[in-house]
Amino acid sequence: MMAFYFSRLVEIFPFFLRGLWMTTKVAFCSLIICTLIGFILGMLRSSNIVFLKRLIGTYVAFARGTPFVVQIFIVFFIFPEWGLQLEAFPAALLAMAIMGSAFICEIVAGGINAVHNGQWEAASSSGLTKLQQLRLVIIPQAMKVIVPPLVGQYVLLIKDTSVVSVIGVMELTRVGWVTVVRIPEGLMVFALVGILYFSISYPLILLSNYLERRMAI
Amino acid sequence: MSAELIFHTHLVDMDDSMLANFNFRIIFEYMPLFLDGLKFTFLISLVALVLALITGIVACACRISGIKILKYPIIAYIEVIRSTPLLVQIYFLYFGLPTLGIRVPEIQTGIIALMLNSGAYIAEIIRAGINSVDQGQIEAGLSSGLNYVQRMRFIILPQALGVTVPPLLGQAIVLVKDTALLSLISVMELTRSGQTMTSERFMPAEAFLTVAFFYMCIYFCLKALADWSQRKLIFREAY
C-alpha cells in the first residue's frame, strides 16, 4: 500500500512544484513590500516626531502582539465589511505586509538607534540635510546591525507564508492539505512539503549565520 | 421615489458602519466562549512551554556534550525544525500519527508539535547564553581546579542564566501566538472560539477583534515581564 501511495505521490509531484512556485511568489512579493515599508517606518520611528513614534509604536504592538492567523482573518473577513474586498492572493500579501513590516521596522529602528549619537552631530555639522544624514552617514553604519537579523526575519516570514493557506491560497501547505485527503499518508505528504520548505529556508539560515559571524567582527 | 430613498439611507448606513455597527452586546453574549478559549490558550501555552523548556535543556546538553552520537542527531533536529513552518509540523503530526497507528486527541498532538518546535529554539537560546560567557571565566575556573560539572554549575550557568531569561520570555510570546495555529486542527482555543462565533452569527469584526484584544492583553503582560528582566538581569560592563 505504501509503495502504491508513493507512486501516486510521484505522479502528482508537479502539483507540489506549482505550490512551491506559489509559495515563492507570495514570499518574494511580500518580502519586497515588507522591506520597503519596514525601512520607511523604521526611519520614522527612530526620528523624534513624538506623534509618529507613538502611532507606529501602537501599530507595531498590534502586529507583534496578535497571531498571524488572526491578522489574516481580520484582513480577509473584516476588511470587506469596511469596504475593502480582496481576492485571496492580494489579501495574503496585505496580511504579510502588515505583519512583516512591523517586525522589520523594529529591526531597522534598533539598528539606527545603535549608531552613535556623535555621527548624527558630525553629519549635521557637515551641513547635510536630515535625509542626507540618514542616507549617507547613518544607514550605511546601521546596516551592519540590521542585516543579520533581517535575513533571520526573512526566514521567519517565508515560513509564515504557510499560514496563508487558511484563506485558500494554493501554496505549498495548501497543496499538502489537499493531497492528504486523496493520499492518506500524512507522514509522506507532509515530509515532502517539509523538504520543499527546507530547500528554500535552509540556505537562507546558513546565509544568516554567515552574515552574523562576518558582521560581528 | 421610495426605492431611491431606501437606497440612499442604505448608503448612509454603509458610511458610518465602521464602528456604529459594532455590536458589543453580542460580544458579551459570547463572553463565556471567549473566556473558555482564553483558558485553553493559557493552559496549552503553559504546558507546552514547560515541556519545551525540558526539551530545550536536554537538546542543548546533548548538543554541547561533544559526544558525536548525541550531537549530530540533535543538530539535525534543530535545523529541520528551524527551517520548516510550524503549520507543516502540526499537519505532519496531525495527519501522520494516525498512519502510524497512534491515535491521540488533537490537543495533545498540538502540544507535542509546539513542544518540539519551541524546544529547538530554546535549545539555541540556551546555547547562545552559555557561549556568551567570557572565555576568561572558563580559564579562571580551570586554573582554580574545578572540573567540568563544577565549572558549569558555579561559573558558567549562573552567568548564562541572566542572558537567557529575556530571549526565553520572547520565545514564550512567540509560543502563545503559535497556539493560534492549533485552531486549524480544531483545538478549542481562543482563535477557534472566534471562528465558532463567526460561523454561528457571521460577525467576523466582533469575533476576531475581541480575539485580537485578548491576545494583546497576554502580549503586553509578557512584554512587560521581558522588558523588566532585560533591565534587571542582563549584566552590563560599565564603560
Question: What whole-number percentage of chain B has pLDDT above 70?
Answer: 89
Cell 465589511, residue located: A81
Residue in A173, A184, A187 closest to B85 by CB: A173
Assembly ipTM: 0.90
The per-residue pLDDT of chain A, averaged, comes to 90
Q: Report domain extents, chain A.
A: 2-216
Determine whether the interchain pair A70/B211 forms a contact, defined as Cβ–Cβ distance below 8 Å.
yes
What's the CATH superfamily of A2-216? MetI-like (1.10.3720.10)
Q: Are A55 and A119 in contact (CB under 8 A)?
A: no
Q: Which residues of B touch A68 (CB under 8 A)?
A: 177, 180
Question: Mean pLDDT throughout A99-119?
Answer: 92
DSSP line for B187-221: --SHHHHHHHHHHHH--HHHHHHHHHHHHHHHHHH
DSSP chain B: -HHHHHHHHHHHHHHTHHHHT--HHHHHHTHHHHHHHHHHHHHHHHHHHHHHHHHHHHHHHHHHH--HHHHHHHHHHHHHHHTS-HHHHHHHHHHHHHHTT----HHHHHHHHHHHHHHHHHHHHHHHHHHTS-HHHHHHHHHTT--HHHIIIIIIHHHHHHHHHHHHHHHHHHHHHHGGGGGGGT--SHHHHHHHHHHHH--HHHHHHHHHHHHHHHHHHHHHHHHHHHHHH------
Is the domain spanning B35-231 CATH 1.10.3720.10? The answer is: yes
Q: What confidence tens digit (pLDDT) does each residue in B119-136 have?
A: 999 999 999 998 888 888
Q: Is the Cβ pair A187, B95 closer than 8 Å?
A: yes
What are the residue boundaries of the structural domains of chain B, listed by start? 35-231
Q: Between chains, do A159 and B204 touch, taking CB under 8 Å as contact?
A: no
Confidence of residue B57 (pLDDT cuts 50, 70, 90): very high
Average pLDDT, chain B: 86
* Residue A217, pLDDT score: 60
> Of B38, B95, B104, B169, which to mutate for an interface test with A (greatest number of A Cβ within 10 Å)?
B95
Per-residue pLDDT tens over the stretch A1-20: 778 888 888 888 899 999 99
Residues of B in contact with A83 (CB under 8 A): 14
| Amino acid present at B217 | C
Cβ separation B83–A155 shorter than 8 A: yes
Reported confidence tier of residue B30, pLDDT bands at 50, 70, 90 = confident
